């Protein structure tokens, strides 16, 4: 599983709109969930669209994360990538939204 949807979900549906695998659905309360999390591609599109920090991207040891989780918060054109490390510390990486998807 690449993502975890936490209880901060407000049911806006933006994550559902951008998921390329159409894996994110709404439950009976209108909150987002993923029925088959093993099918997640880990593209992080949903994380960048969530304005509530409700989706956490699991940074596994294979990419140097050692179990860390990342959420994204928007502040105008700046995205704050907040990484909660396994030891509880938080690191923030600020990214200009316009540059976030450049290759």
Convert the pLDDT of each residue in 31-81 to its tens digit.
Answer: 999 988 888 888 889 988 898 989 998 876 655 567 788 888 888 889 888
Q: What is the pTM of this model?
A: 0.73
* Cross-strand pairs, 4: 56
Span 3-100 CATH architecture? 2-Layer Sandwich (3.30)
**Would you say residue 82 has pLDDT above 80?**
yes
* Cross-strand pairs, 69: 58, 84
Question: What is the model's pLDDT at position 32?
Answer: 96
Question: What is the model's pLDDT at position 84?
Answer: 86
Per-domain residue ranges of the chain: 3-100
Measure Cα distances from 4 to 24, 71, 72, 103 in Å.
11, 10, 13, 26
More confident residue, 24 or 95: 24
Question: What is the model's pLDDT at position 25?
Answer: 95
Query: What's the average model confidence in pLDDT over 78-85?
Result: 87
Measure Cα distances from 97 to 72, 77, 82, 83 in Å.
11, 5, 15, 17
Q: What is the pLDDT of residues 1-41, one digit of tens each?
A: 588 899 999 999 999 999 999 999 999 999 999 988 888 88
Q: Provide the token pair at 1.
A: 């599983």
């Amino acid at each position: 599983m690449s993502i975890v949807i936490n209880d901060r979900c407000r049911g806006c549906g933006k994550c559902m709109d951008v998921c390329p695998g159409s894996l994110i659905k709404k439950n009976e309360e209108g909150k987002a969930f993923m029925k088959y999390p093993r099918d997640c591609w880990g593209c992080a599109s949903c994380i960048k669209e969530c304005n509530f920090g409700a989706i956490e991207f699991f940074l596994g040891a294979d990419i140097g994360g050692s179990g860390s989780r990342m959420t994204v918060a928007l502040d105008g054109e700046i995205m704050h990538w907040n990484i909660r490390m396994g030891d509880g510390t938080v690191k923030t990486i600020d990214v200009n939204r316009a540059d976030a998807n450049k290759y």
